[in-house]
Structure 1
Amino acid sequence: MTVVAAPENAVPARSTPRRARRRGVRPLVLNLVAVALGIGVWSLLSAIGVQGLPGPVTVADRAGELIADGTLAEDVLASLRRVLIGFALGTALAVPVGFLMGWYATARGLLEPYIQFFRTIPPLAIIPLAIVLLGIGEVPKVFVIFLAAFLSSVVAAFQGVVDVDRTLINAARVLGASDRTIFAKVVVPASTPFILVGMRIGLGSAWATLVAAELIAAQEGLGYRMQQAQLYYDLPTIFVGLITIGVLGLLMDRLLLLADRRLTSWQERR
């Protein structure tokens, strides 16, 4: 019986999960170090009196006050509602429009000029028009956020369809697959990574537009609270709003990133 010796540099099978865990722990440690360094620099700048910059303790105390009286919770719920509705509607429309533009040349020719035209116009510039046409209720606020998310996501969905490897499509046709089957089994899976990246960009655009959207006669919301604080030079409240928006946006982005990894687990990653 011949015995085959294992190579000297062979890695035991048990080490693979351990290495995966190490790769997952290291970014988390680096993230925590980055946060600690950021708070340290912030404290230092506040201590030397840079333009009256409030320190982390002052901002934390102000956040505690806003949490205690329920103001922060009301503002978070109002802003989250607007962002989620606008983002969901924008993404829900962007995906089919992007698929149409990528799959049908006629649809591309009809829709692409409008998409590219409105992409050059900042959603914030639409606010005066939105007020005139839609009033000063919730509709114009959600519409501006919807437009920001839609324009960011539709191009990604379109590009995802266009960039599908033609070899895969031709191979499916050779095997007798119909256009519907090719679209469902080849195009949609191959373009999913592009769609999810577009959704992440759209989510960032939605949050970036929120503050300006809440200029439209809002009575609650993080953007509204920050604008009111600006009138009284209330820097701690402004910082609370900024940090809250950043944390909420980061958490939502991590959820999309988790969905990306689950839905595109077939992709090779570095």
Structure 2
Amino acid sequence: MTVVTASPQKTSARPDGRRAARKPRRTIALNLLAVAIGLGLWTLLASVGVQGLPGPLTVAARGGELIADGTLLGDVLASLRRVFVGFALGTLLAIPVGFLMGWYATARGLLEPYIQFFRTIPPLAIIPLAIVLMGIGEVPKVFVIFLAAFLSSVVSTFQGVVDVDKTLINAARVLGASDRTIFLKVVVPASTPFILVGMRIGLGSAWGTLVAAELIAAQEGLGFRMQQAQLYYDLSTIFVGLIAIGVLGLVMDRLLLLAERRLTGWQERR
């Protein structure tokens, strides 16, 4: 009887395992198909001469030139440094502020009006003020990126704390858990998915603010290089900058998504 009972379990588990292994392959295949379709449409538009649009081969050749003379690497490192520092500082501040607002009603009442007020002001609108107050060095560039990441992440963290199932908190209190234990063992794990989603949104905001931030008397960076190329109508260099920003942002987003899956393995997924 034991052998008969165990056999169906193994048989039923195999299709699930095969489906789980097949899903990433299907996703990768669809991603590659999407890239191929995009390149095909781009080539088609370039071949019919849409406003002097450069084709993929022309852009690739220009990218090779910028890599060969070290320009692209220097710009990538400069932009990565600014985005990483601004995003890291914004996230590190947003998480404790979001927890504070979500856990304590007094802190929420004091901080939420300021958070909501500054959320309605685009970070790009802060650039003139940042230049006046902070000069034209690296500080104002990092500051506007920091602000974009902070405002996106703090709201998600706050919402994650507020949306924690009250039944879980009440059950922990009935079992004699202290507020500290409830916060660490219930609230933090339950709000982690919200925090990571906020970080992904904040990362997108940081890259979106980068080009404008590098208008502040920058001498290197992808945004700076694109602005310089605009003056000479150098579309190929602009495309190289756009693709570099997109690829770097995509890689960083995938890393955050991987961290999300590792930290929220308990969460049911489709």
Same amino acid, percent of matched pairs:
83
The match for 2:260 is 260
- In structure 2, distance between residues paired with 1:2 and 1:177: 42
Q: Which ranges in structure 2 are unaligned for 5 or more consecutive residues?
A: none
In the superposition, the TM-score normalised over structure 1's length comes to 0.97
Where do residues 181-192 of structure 1 align in structure 2 (5 Å cutoff)?
181-192=181-192
Partner amino acid, structure 1, of 2:180: R
1:6 CA displacement: 9.5
Any unmatched runs of 5+ in structure 1? none
Q: CA deviation at 1:176?
A: 0.4
Aligned partner of 1:37: which letter? I
**2:233 aligned partner:** 233
Q: Distance in 1 between matches of 2:170 and 2:21?
A: 40
Closer, same or farther: CA 133–15 of 1 in aligned 2, 3 Å:
same
Q: Hey, what does 2:117 align to over in structure 1?
A: 117
Amino acid at match of 1:33: L
Q: How does 1:242-261 map to 2 (within 5 A)?
A: 242-261=242-261
Partner in structure 2 of residue 67 of structure 1: 67
Deviations 1:105-143 (A, max 9, x none): 000000000000000000000000000000000000000
Deviation at 1:7, TM superposition (A): 11
1:44 matched residue in structure 2: 44
Report the structure, 1 or 2, having the larger helix content: 2
Offset from partner CA, 1:220-269 (integer Å, 9 cap, x none): 00000000000000000000000000000000000000000000000000
When residues 102 and 2 of structure 1 are mapped into structure 2, their CA distance, relative to the original with a 3 A threshold, is closer
Taking the aligned partners of 1:113 and 1:151, their CA distance within structure 2 comes to 13
**How far apart in 1 are the matches of 2:26 and 2:45?**
29
Distance 1:19 1:2, change over 3 A: closer
| Per-residue deviation, 1:34 | 0.2
Letter of the structure 2 residue corresponding to residue 81 of structure 1: R
Say if 1:3 and 1:19 are closer, same or farther in 2 by CA, change over 3 A.
closer
Q: Distance in 1 between matches of 2:163 and 2:191?
A: 8
Q: Where do 1:161-172 residues align within 5 Å?
A: 161-172=161-172
SS in 1 for 2:12: coil
**What one-letter code is carried by the residue in structure 1 that aligns with 2:268?**
E
Which residue of the partner structure matches residue 213 of structure 2? 213
Q: Which amino acid aligns with 1:147?
A: L
Give the partner amino acid of 1:122: P
Partner of 1:90: 90
* Alpha-carbon shift at residue 40 of structure 1 (Å): 0.2
Cα distance change, pair 2–40 in 1 and its aligned pair in 2 (3 A): closer
Q: Distance in 1 between matches of 2:74 and 2:3?
A: 71
* Aligned residue identity for 1:39: L
Match of 2:14 in 1: 14
Structure 1 pair 239/172, CA: closer, same or farther in 2 (3 Å)? Answer: same
- 1:3 deviates by 9.1
* Aligned residue type for 2:72: L
Query: Could you say which residue in structure 1 is the equivalent of 2:158?
Result: 158
Are 1:34 and 2:34 an aligned pair?
yes
Number of residues of Structure 1 aligned to a counterpart in Structure 2: 270
- The one-letter code of the counterpart of 1:226 is M
Whole-Å Cα distance in 2 between the matches of residues 245 and 182 of structure 1?
41
> Can you list the C-alpha shifts for 1:63-105, whole angstroms capped at 9, x where unaligned?
0000000000000000000000000000000000000000000
Alpha-carbon offset, residue 24 of structure 1: 1.0
Say which SS state the counterpart of residue 266 (structure 1) adopts. coil
- State the shift of 1:17 in Å: 2.4
Residue 144 of structure 1: how far off its partner (Å): 0.2
Runs of 4+ in 1 over 2 A off after TM superposition: 1-8, 10-17
CA RMSD of aligned residues (A): 1.7
Aligned to 1:132: 132
Q: Secondary structure at the match of 1:14?
A: helix
TM-score, structure 2 as length reference = 0.97
Return the alpha-carbon distance in structure 2 between the equivalents of residues 173 and 88 of structure 1: 34
Partner of 2:102: 102
Q: CA deviation at 1:45?
A: 0.1
Q: How far apart are the structure 1 equivalents of 2:264 and 2:3?
A: 41
Take 2:197 and 2:49, find their aligned partners in 1: how far apart are those partners? 40
SS in 2 for 1:53: coil
Quickly say closer, same or farther: Cα 1:134–1:3, change in 2 above 3 A. Answer: closer
